[in-house]
C-alpha cells in the first residue's frame, strides 16, 4: 500500500478549520483521487482551548508552528496563519529549506516574497502551491499555468475581492452610500473591522501580482501595481453608470502592451453585458484571454473557509499524486524581471464627473481644456438644471492617453465654476 501523505496544518482559523474538516469529511474521495491517504499528522495555532467547530481529538497539537518544519515524518506544511512576515514567512522558508512541500493561501506573503520563495522551492526540489491565495474556490492558478499552457495569454482581468464587489453591488441595488454599506458589511462579517486592505485595493493588488507572474512568466512585482480603492465611489456615479449602460467594478488588470506589462487595480466602468459584470455580490470572477483559447471566464466564491479549503485540497491532491509544476509555471531562474508600463500611458476611454455651478460659458471652458489636451468627447450628460447652483455634468471620452486626460482634468479642476474635485473613472471595453 502507498504511504499516506503526512501533512501539518498551521493556522486553524477560518480557512485552517475548514481544511481539517474537509480532509476528515472527504477522506475517501481524496484517497481515491490522490492514490493514497492524506493524513493530518499535526496541527498548530495559538490557542489550544478555543472551540474551532470541529473535533480536535486525535489530532496532535504542536504549539510552535516553526517546529513543524523540523519534523522528518511531515511531507507537506499547510501554512494558513497569514501575514507577509513573522511566523508565516519563517515557517514557509524553513519548511522549503528542509525539503518539505508547502501549500499556502497567503497572498500577502507571495506578493512580497513570491519570487524568492519559488527559487527556494526549486532549489530544494519542493512544491510551493498557492491555488487558495487567489480567488478562493476558482481554480485560476491551475487554469493559467496548466489549462492554458499552450497559449500566450494577452490579458487577465478580474474581480478579486468579494468585499468590494459586495459593497458596489449593494450600493447599486439600494442607492445607499459607501459608508452605510460598509458598516452593514462589517456587521454581516463580509468586511473586516479594519477594512482598508480590502476597500483600498491592497488585497486585490496582492492577488493581481501573483496572477501576473503566473500569466507572463515574470518575477512577482507587487510594488509595480497601480492601486486605487473604492472609497470615493458615490451613489451618483453608480446611477450615472447605469444610465450609460455601464457598471462599476473594482478590477485587477494585468495586460501585456508594447510599453511593458500593465498591472493595475482600480474601479472600472464595464459594459453591463460584459461577462465580468454579471458577477455580483461576494462573487469573484476572472477572465483570461489566450491567443488560441480566446476568452475563458471563471466565476465563484473567492473567499470564505469552505471555498478556500477546496483550493487547498486540490493542491494537496496534486502533491499526493506526484504532480510537480514550478510555482509560477516556469523555473524560478527563468522568471524575467517585470517591465512595468506606466499608468500615465494607458490608452482608453474615461468617465469624468464634474460638479459645476450652472452658469453660461462653463461647458465652453471645460471643452476648451479637453480640446487643448487632445481629448475628444463621446457623450455629455447634464440631467439637472439649477441656475447658479452646483449640478453634476458627466462626460465620457473617446480613447485617449491618461496623461493627456489628467492634464485637461487639472485645468478643469482649477476653473472657478468647478466646485469639487473632478471624479475620473476608467472605462474598460474588453
Ligand atoms: N478567510 C478567507 O476567506 C481567506 C480566503 C483566501 C485566503 N485566505 C488566507 O488564508 C490565511 C488564513 O486566513 P484566515 O482567514 O483563516 O485567518 P484567521 O481566521 O485569522 O486564522 C489565523 C490562524 O493562525 C493562527 N495563528 C496566528 N498567529 C499564529 C502564531 N504566531 N503561531 C501559530 N498560529 C498562529 C491563529 O491561531 P488562533 O486561532 O489560536 O488565534 C488562527 O488559527 C491568510 O493568509 C489569508 O490571507 C483567507
**Residue 32's pLDDT band (boundaries 50, 70, 90)?**
very high
Under 8 Å CB-to-CB from 388, ≥6 apart: which residues? 357, 358, 359
Give me ligand 1 centre to Cα 12, in Å: 6
String of DSSP letters for 127-173: -EE-GGGSSTTS-HHHIIIIITTTS-EEEEEEE--HHHHHHHHHHHH
Q: Which residues are CB-contacts of 86 (< 8 A; sequence separation ≥ 6)?
A: none
Average pLDDT over residues 67-80: 97
Per-residue pLDDT tens digits for 380-423: 998 777 777 899 999 999 999 999 999 999 999 999 999 999 99
pLDDT band at 92 (very low <50, low <70, confident <90, very high): very high
Res 154 pLDDT > 90: yes
Q: What's the longest Cα–Cα distance across the chain?
A: 86
pLDDT digits (tens, 9 = 90+) for 12-29: 999 999 999 999 999 999
- Tens of pLDDT, residue by residue over 198-244, are 999 999 999 999 999 999 999 999 999 999 999 999 999 999 999 99
Query: What band does 359 get if pLDDT is binned at 50, 70 and 90?
Result: confident
Other beta carbons within 10 angstroms of residue 352's beta carbon come to 22
Residue 203: closest CA among 135, 157, 144, 267: 135
Whether 189 shows a pLDDT value over 80: the answer reads: yes
Instruction: Return d(Cα 23, Cα 43) in angstroms, integer.
Output: 13
Contact 195, 232 (CB under 8 A): no
Distance 36 CA to ligand 1 centre (A): 28
Average pLDDT (155-162) is 98
Which numbered atom of ligand 1 lies nearest the CA of 87?
31
Ligand 1 mean position, distance from CA 354 (Å): 43
Ligand 1 binding residues, C-beta < 6 A: 11-16, 44-47, 50, 65, 80-82, 87, 105-107, 132, 136, 303-304, 308
Cell triple for residue 327? 510555482
Average pLDDT over residues 127-139: 98
Does 171 score more than 80 pLDDT?
yes
pTM higher than 0.95, yes or no? yes
Residue of 100, 107, 207, 249 marked catalytic: 207
Residue 55 pLDDT greater than 90, yes or no: no
* The predicted structure's pLDDT at residue 157: 98
Active site residue 207: yes
Q: What is the rounded average pLDDT for all residues in the chain?
A: 96
> Going by CA atoms, what residue is nearest to atom 35 of ligand 1?
45
Helix (H) and strand (E) counts in the chain: 13, 16
Burial class (CB in 10 A: 0-12, 13-18, 19+), 27: middle
Mean pLDDT of 68-82: 97
For Cα atoms 185, 253, 323, give the angle at the middle one, nearest 5 degrees: 95
Amino acid at each position: 500500500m502507498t504511504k499516506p501523505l503526512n501533512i501539518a496544518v498551521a493556522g486553524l482559523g477560518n480557512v485552517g478549520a475548514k481544511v481539517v474538516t474537509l480532509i476528515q469529511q472527504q477522506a475517501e474521495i481524496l484517497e481515491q483521487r490522490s492514490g493514497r491517504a492524506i493524513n493530518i499528522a499535526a496541527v498548530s495555532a495559538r490557542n489550544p482551548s478555543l472551540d474551532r467547530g470541529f473535533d480536535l481529538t486525535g489530532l496532535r497539537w504542536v504549539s510552535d508552528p516553526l517546529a513543524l518544519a523540523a519534523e522528518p515524518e511531515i511531507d507537506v506544511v499547510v501554512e494558513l496563519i497569514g501575514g507577509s512576515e513573522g511566523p508565516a514567512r519563517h515557517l514557509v522558508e524553513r519548511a522549503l529549506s528542509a525539503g518539505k512541500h508547502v501549500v499556502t493561501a497567503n497572498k500577502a506573503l507571495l506578493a512580497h516574497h513570491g519570487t524568492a520563495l519559488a527559487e527556494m522551492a526549486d532549489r530544494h526540489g519542493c512544491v510551493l502551491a498557492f491555488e487558495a491565495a487567489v480567488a478562493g474556490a476558482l481554480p485560476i492558478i491551475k487554469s493559467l499555468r496548466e489549462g492554458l499552457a499552450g497559449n500566450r495569454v494577452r490579458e487577465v482581468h478580474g474581480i478579486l475581492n468579494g468585499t468590494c464587489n459586495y459593497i458596489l453591488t449593494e450600493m447599486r441595488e439600494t442607492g445607499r452610500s459607501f459608508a452605510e454599506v460598509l458598516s452593514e458589511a462589517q456587521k454581516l462579517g463580509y468586511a473586516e473591522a479594519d477594512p482598508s486592505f480590502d476597500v483600498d485595493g491592497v488585497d486585490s493588488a496582492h492577488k493581481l501580482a501573483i496572477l501576473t507572474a503566473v500569466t507572463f512568466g515574470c518575477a512577482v512585482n507587487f510594488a509595480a501595481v497601480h492601486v486605487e480603492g473604492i472609497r470615493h465611489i458615490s451613489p451618483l456615479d453608480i446611477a450615472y453608470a447605469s444610465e450609460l449602460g455601464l457598471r462599476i467594478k473594482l478590477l485587477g488588470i494585468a495586460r501585456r502592451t508594447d510599453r511593458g506589462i500593465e498591472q493595475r487595480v482600480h474601479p472600472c466602468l464595464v459594459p453591463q453585458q460584459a461577462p465580468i459584470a454579471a458577477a455580483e455580490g461576494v462573487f469573484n470572477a476572472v477572465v483570461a484571454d489566450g491567443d488560441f483559447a480566446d476568452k475563458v471566464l471563471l466565476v465563484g466564491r473567492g473567499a470564505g473557509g469552505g471555498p478556500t479549503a477546496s483550493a487547498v485540497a486540490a493542491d494537496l491532491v496534486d502533491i499526493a499524486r506526484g504532480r510537480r509544476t514550478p510555482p509560477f509555471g516556469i523555473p524560478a531562474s527563468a522568471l524575467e524581471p517585470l517591465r512595468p508600463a506606466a499608468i500615465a500611458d494607458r490608452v482608453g476611454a474615461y468617465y469624468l464627473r464634474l460638479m459645476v455651478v450652472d452658469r453660461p460659458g462653463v461647458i465652453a471652458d471645460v471643452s476648451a481644456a479637453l480640446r487643448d489636451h487632445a481629448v475628444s468627447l463621446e457623450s455629455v450628460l447634464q440631467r439637472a438644471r439649477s441656475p447658479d447652483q452646483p449640478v453634476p455634468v458627466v462626460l465620457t471620452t473617446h480613447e485617449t492617453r491618461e496623461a493627456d486626460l489628467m492634464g485637461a482634468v487639472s485645468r478643469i479642476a482649477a476653473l472657478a465654476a468647478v466646485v469639487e474635485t473632478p471624479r475620473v473613472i476608467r472605462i474598460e471595453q474588453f
